[in-house]
C-alpha cells in the first residue's frame, strides 16, 4: 500500500513529529540541569570525528598541549550539537587507554 499521497496521514505525522524526535526530547530534558556529557577520543587511524566537543574550561599553551596525550589522538566522538549545547559541562574520557 502506498501512503506517500495520503494527505491525512501526512498531517497526522506532522502534528506528532516532535513526540517521536528523541534528540529534541533529550535536549529539552537536559536544559537547565547539572548534566555532564562525556566524549571520547580515538587513537586508531581511519576513524572519522563526529559530533561537537564541549567548550574548554581552561586553555593551555600550545607547548603544554603538544606534551599532552590529547595531541596524539587522531579523532573524537562527541555529541550532536543540540544535546551538547543543552548540557552545562563536558568531560574527556580515556576509555581506550584503560586495561
Q: In a structure prediction context, what are the per-residue pLDDT tens digits for the chain, which is 99 residues long?
A: 787 888 999 899 889 888 888 998 989 998 888 888 877 777 777 777 888 777 666 666 667 666 665 556 677 788 888 888 888 777 765 555 444
pTM of the model: 0.54
Pairing of strands 75-77, 36-42: antiparallel
Flag whether 2 is in a domain.
no
- Using an 8 Å Cβ cutoff, are 82 and 29 in contact? no
Flag whether 61 is in a domain.
yes
Flag whether 43 is in a domain.
yes
Alpha carbons within 13 angstroms on the beta-carbon side of residue 69 total: 10
First and final C-alpha spacing in the chain? 53
- Using an 8 Å Cβ cutoff, are 81 and 30 in contact? no
Flag whether 1 is in a domain.
no
Assign 90 to helix, strand or coil: strand
Flag whether 25 is in a domain.
yes
List, in order, residues 6 or more apart from 83 with CB less than 8 Å away: 23, 26, 27, 30, 37
**Which range marks the domain in which residue 23 is found?**
7-97
Task: Label residues 11-21 b or e (16+ Cβ within 10 Å = b).
Answer: eeeeeeeeeee
Question: How many independent structural domains does the chain possess?
Answer: 1
Amino acid at each position: 500500500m502506498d501512503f506517500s499521497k495520503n494527505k491525512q496521514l501526512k498531517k497526522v505525522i506532522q502534528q506528532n513529529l516532535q513526540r517521536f524526535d528523541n534528540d529534541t526530547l533529550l535536549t529539552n530534558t537536559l536544559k537547565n540541569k547539572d548534566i555532564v556529557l562525556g566524549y571520547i577520543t580515538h587513537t586508531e587511524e581511519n576513524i572519522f570525528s563526529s559530533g561537537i566537543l564541549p567548550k574548554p574550561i581552561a586553555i593551555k599553551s600550545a607547548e603544554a598541549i603538544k606534551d599532552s596525550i590529547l595531541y596524539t589522538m587522531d579523532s573524537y566522538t562527541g555529541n550532536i550539537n543540540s544535546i551538547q549545547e543543552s548540557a552545562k559541562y563536558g568531560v574527556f574520557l580515556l576509555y581506550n587507554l584503560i586495561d
